[in-house]
Every structure is written in C-alpha cells, then in structure tokens.
C-alpha cells in the first residue's frame, strides 16, 4: 500500500485487487465503467498546486476523455465552511460544481450550516442530482430535487446507486425540521428496490464516519461504498465489498475501474466484477479552464476585501485539525480570549471544530481578515450565558468525551484551567477545574461566552442552555468580526499554550 498517501494512518484491508498510482498502472482487464469520487472540498483554489475545484474538474475531464463510461460521484461537504461561503452561503460552490459534470451528489452535514431554506435554495440551483435516501421533510416526504436511488446503464451493466446523508446532522449543523433516519436502514430498503429492478451492481454513495462505512462493508448490503466525512485517502477491499474515500479538498481523486463478466440472459443472467484502483494526484492534473475562470473571478472579488493586515504574530499559531481537536492550542486560546473580552464574560468555551483553516502560521506572520475568516467561516455569533459551575464541568466533560480521538467538540477555553484523565470513563474524566486559581464552585453561577451553535446544543454542549441566556443569537455579534477587533487591539499577538487544558 506504499502507493497510497494518507492524511493519517488507516487500516486498509488486503485484497486480490490491483492498486496503482496515476501513471504506473499494470496491465489489467478493460473496464466496463469507472467510478470517480471526490468528497469534502471546501476551498475554491488549489494550495501550492494541489487540490481545488479546477484541478478536480480537470481530472474528471481527463477520465471521460478515455472513452470509458464514468460515474462521477461527490460524497458531500462543500457548501460550507469556507471563506467565500461566509459571504454567499455556498452559492459559489454550486456555480463551480454545475460545470464539473457530477452524476451523483450526496449532502454532507456542512451542507446545512446556513439552515434549511438556504440548503433548498442551493439544491434548486444545482444542475446535478442530489441523492439522500435517509432525508425527508417534516412530513416525511422526499425533498424537492432529491432522489433516493437510481439505476445507471454503464457499459452494458445496470449499476444501482443509493445516496445517504449523515445521520447525526441535526446535532452538528442547522437543518431545521428536516428528518434524518438511519443510513443502514435506508441502504437496506433501497438495495431491495434496486435488486427488484434488475441492478447488477450496487453502489452506496454516503456521507458517514468510518465505523458506519465498515458496518456497511460487513453487512454486504451493497458492493461498493464511496464515502466522505473522515477526510482520509482510504481504499479497502476484502474480496467482496469495496470502500473508498478520496481525502479532502480535491487533493486526490480516486478512480475505480470495474471489469465485468456477464453470462446468461434474463433470469439466468450472472454478473461478476473486479475492481482496479487508481489514485489521481491533483498536482499532476491540468485544471479545467472553465472552472478555473470561475474560481479566478471569485478570488479577485474576495481579495479586495480580505487581504488587509490586522495584526502581527510574535509567536507561531497552529490550527491543524489533528492538533486543535486533541489539545490546548495557542490559536484556541486566542479565539476564546477574544470572545470572552467581547462579551465581558468570566469564562469562555469554544469548540475546536469551529476553527477550520487547518494551517500553521510562523512568528512574524501578518494576520489578515482573510486568515480570520478562513479560521472562522461559519458565520457564528458570540453568545453569553449564566450557568452553574456544575454546568461548566459538564460542558468540559462533553468536550472530552471522544478523547483521545480528535473531535470537533474539543474545548478551547479562556478564564479557566482544567485537568482531566482521559483514561477514565466518559463523563468522569475531569479531575479539576480552576477559575482565577481557585477550584470552581459547582453551586455558584458563572458567565460563559461561547457561540450560537454550541448554545443550541451543537456538538453535544447542552449544558450551556441550562441557565440564563444573557446574549443570544439575535443580540450576539459575528464571532469572526469580534476576533478581528481583538487582534487589532492587540496589534502584536503573543498567544501561547499555557496549561489551560492538561490531559493525562
């Protein structure tokens, strides 16, 4: 598996199937069709010649030019969060994806970040179909512009495709009264339907975490799983079921060539198939010119407003996902300090998952508006609540529940310090919390700054809503703007890791 580049280590099931990096394909049977997958693309442009929509579109164009039928699938998460989505709520993504020739799109949890009505408006503007067999309106009906499944005729093969969105979306985003049901139940239902319609091969395009992906593989309910959400470059095949994810940001676009053997006709028809995997590295891709032109226009528009310097770093900052979701960070301290100062609260807690740029900044770097909005793209507002010390403790316990696994709920804090033993059972991990150097009083009231997503119970932070809301969504200020104000006031930023979160 040395041909694979992975964002983080991932167990890959050994199998008698071919795997080749782009340009080093061994001689294999001619494919009947190719499945092409992208997922979790947030940023418009490439990053130092890697990723971005134009390169992903260029890969799709090159794949189609080979003359083999291609089914181009997107496993979700793109309309948010990004710098531009903070301004147009994802409309620019639809404009680009309308030019990419997508055949299947499933919504990820981030598609709902700006609410139900915005989501439906974006779907209405799409030229590509949305699949979501486990998503319904408040009355239980299929949403406009959505379908559960479809049979595609590809190279003489009936390929049944089922799409599902992310089950826990209501806890992570803002879908309003939309109903999300079990991924597994939806797949089982649609698989029966497609088989009855004569599907030869079943493909699930899902937005799901890895444990769900593996549950689907073990269930044998479909033949191929194309997934997004974990941001891994992952290829797994156990000889019966394929599972593939294509990293993030269009860095890699995975192709699965399916060779097929068909015998018999009618009721005696038998179809056998075998996969060959290819990983298209976007650094070798020729950007699609039409999509590249759209990206350039948006970037020009953004630059006029965003490339304004607001502060200088005296020390480095690190917002990489694997860091900020597992431990105290200087940038987490900086942002939580900013919202505490903005609201005048005693304490502040913000979720690491709301800090998004996945970037390192060197000492001496000039922070710009663009940097702040890249880090805080969701458009969240600052809020302040009055809750008990026990509620504060419960909030920290919630934030540490997935540890040591990285999680968006990991708490970045201000005005308090805590020690925790993550070897203890979930809910019993906090060893101590101190405020102004003294143990927190669980019976006393404290004012706590946070963001409106967490106040609504996002990432499981239900304890924030137990007390009085002093500043709510309608009164709060845009979190990114308040951080900018704080940075301008500082001028020189010397944020450091200070021992606010000590994990054992």
51-82 confidence digits (pLDDT tens): 999 999 999 999 999 999 999 999 999 998 88
Position 282 in a domain: yes
Segments forming the whole domain that contains residue 356: 307-503
pLDDT at 19: 54
Are the C-beta atoms of residues 246 and 256 closer than 8 Å to each other?
Answer: no
What is the C-alpha to C-alpha distance for residues 372 and 383, in angstroms, rounded to an integer? 19
Number of domains in the chain: 2
Within this chain, do residues 240 and 342 fall inside the same structural domain, yes or no? Answer: no
What CATH number does residue 491 fall under?
3.90.780.10
Model confidence at 29, pLDDT cuts 50, 70, 90, reads confident
Position 497 in a domain: yes
pLDDT at 489: 97
What is the C-alpha to C-alpha distance for residues 82 and 393, in angstroms, rounded to an integer? 32
Within this chain, do residues 190 and 335 fall inside the same structural domain, yes or no? Answer: no
pLDDT at 28: 65
Model confidence at 460, pLDDT cuts 50, 70, 90, reads very high
Within this chain, do residues 344 and 294 fall inside the same structural domain, yes or no? Answer: no
> 21 - beta bridge partners?
279
- Average model confidence (pLDDT) for the chain? 93
Q: Distance from CA of residue 379 to its chain's centroid?
A: 16
What is the C-alpha to C-alpha distance for residues 399 and 35, in angstroms, rounded to an integer? 38
pLDDT at 23: 41
What CATH number does residue 33 fall under?
3.60.21.10
Model confidence at 142, pLDDT cuts 50, 70, 90, reads very high
Position 251 in a domain: yes
473: pLDDT strictly greater than 90: no
Q: Distance from CA of residue 350 to its chain's centroid?
A: 18
Within this chain, do residues 87 and 70 fall inside the same structural domain, yes or no? Answer: yes
pLDDT tens digit sequence for 145-186: 999 999 999 999 999 999 999 999 998 888 999 999 999 999
DSSP state of 190: H
Q: Which of 263, 298, 333 is the last residue of a domain?
A: 298
Are the C-beta atoms of residues 165 and 180 closer than 8 Å to each other?
Answer: yes
Model confidence at 302, pLDDT cuts 50, 70, 90, reads confident
pLDDT at 178: 98
Position 73 in a domain: yes
pLDDT at 137: 98
* HSE-up (13 A, CA, CB side) for residue 433: 24
What is the C-alpha to C-alpha distance for residues 94 and 92, in angstroms, rounded to an integer? 5
Within this chain, do residues 227 and 319 fall inside the same structural domain, yes or no? Answer: no
Within this chain, do residues 282 and 397 fall inside the same structural domain, yes or no? Answer: no
What is the C-alpha to C-alpha distance for residues 354 and 411, in angstroms, rounded to an integer? 11
Model confidence at 1, pLDDT cuts 50, 70, 90, reads very low
Position 10 in a domain: no
pLDDT at 213: 98
What is the C-alpha to C-alpha distance for residues 447 and 469, in angstroms, rounded to an integer? 9
Within this chain, do residues 281 and 346 fall inside the same structural domain, yes or no? Answer: no
Q: Which of 239, 264, 298 is the last residue of a domain?
A: 298
Position 13 in a domain: no
Within this chain, do residues 431 and 311 fall inside the same structural domain, yes or no? Answer: yes
21: pLDDT strictly greater than 70: no
DSSP state of 365: -
Model confidence at 121, pLDDT cuts 50, 70, 90, reads very high
87: pLDDT strictly greater than 90: no
pLDDT at 172: 80
Within this chain, do residues 110 and 204 fall inside the same structural domain, yes or no? Answer: yes
Within this chain, do residues 281 and 329 fall inside the same structural domain, yes or no? Answer: no
203: pLDDT strictly greater than 50: yes
Position 358 in a domain: yes
Within this chain, do residues 281 and 330 fall inside the same structural domain, yes or no? Answer: no
Within this chain, do residues 346 and 474 fall inside the same structural domain, yes or no? Answer: yes
């Amino acid at each position: 598996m040395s041909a694979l580049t992975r964002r983080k280590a991932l167990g890959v099931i050994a199998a008698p199937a071919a795997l080749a990096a782009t340009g080093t394909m061994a001689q294999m049977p001619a494919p009947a069709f190719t499945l092409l997958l992208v997922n979790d693309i947030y940023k418009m442009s490439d990053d130092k010649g890697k990723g971005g929509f134009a390169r992903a579109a260029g890969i799709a164009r090159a794949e189609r030019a080979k003359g083999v039928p291609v089914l181009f699938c997107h496993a979700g998460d793109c309309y948010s969060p990004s710098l531009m989505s903070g301004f147009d709520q994802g409309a620019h993504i639809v404009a680009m994806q309308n030019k990419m020739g997508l055949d299947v799109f499933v919504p990820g949890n981030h598609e709902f970040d700006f609410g139900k009505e915005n989501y439906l408006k974006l779907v209405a503007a799409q030229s590509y179909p949305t699949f979501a067999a486990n998503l319904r309106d408040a009355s239980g009906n299929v949403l406009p512009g959505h379908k559960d499944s479809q049979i595609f005729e590809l190279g003489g093969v009936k390929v049944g495709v089922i799409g599902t969105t992310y089950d826990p979306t209501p806890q992570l985003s803002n879908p309003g009264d939309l109903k999300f049901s079990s991924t597994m139940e939806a797949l089982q239902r649609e698989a029966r339907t497609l088989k009855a319609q004569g599907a030869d091969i079943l493909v699930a395009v899902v937005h799901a975490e890895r444990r769900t992906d593996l549950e689907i593989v073990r269930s044998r309910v479909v033949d191929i799983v194309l997934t997004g959400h974990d941001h891994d470059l992952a290829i797994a095949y156990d000889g019966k079921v394929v599972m593939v994810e294509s990293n993030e940001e269009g860095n890699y676009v995975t192709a699965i060539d399916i060779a097929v053997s068909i015998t018999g006709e009618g009721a005696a028809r038998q179809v056998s198939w075998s996969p060959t995997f290819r990983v298209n590295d976007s650094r070798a891709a020729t950007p699609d010119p039409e999509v590249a032109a759209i990206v350039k226009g948006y970037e020009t528009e953004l630059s006029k407003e965003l490339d304004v310097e607001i502060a200088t770093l005296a020390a480095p900052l690190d917002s990489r996902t694997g860091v900020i979701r597992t431990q105290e960070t200087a940038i987490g301290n900086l942002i939580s300090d900013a919202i505490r100062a903005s609201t005048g609260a005693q304490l502040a807690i913000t979720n690491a998952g709301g800090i998004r740029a996945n970037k390192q900044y060197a000492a001496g770097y000039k922070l710009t508006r663009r940097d702040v909005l890249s880090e805080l793209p969701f458009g969240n507002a600052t809020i302040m609540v009055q809750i008990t010390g026990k509620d504060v403790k419960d909030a920290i316990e919630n934030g540490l529940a997935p540890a040591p696994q990285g999680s968006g709920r990991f708490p970045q804090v201000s005005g308090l310090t805590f020690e925790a033993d993550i070897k203890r059972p979930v809910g019993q991990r906090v060893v101590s919390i101190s405020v102004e150097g003294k143990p927190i009083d669980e019976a006393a009231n404290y004012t706590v700054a946070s963001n409106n997503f967490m106040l609504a119970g996002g990432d499981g932070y239900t304890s924030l809503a137990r007390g009085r809301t002093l500043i709510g969504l309608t009164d709060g200020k845009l979190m990114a703007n308040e951080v900018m104000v704080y940075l301008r006031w500082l001028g020189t930023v010397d944020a450091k890791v200070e021992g606010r979160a000590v994990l054992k």
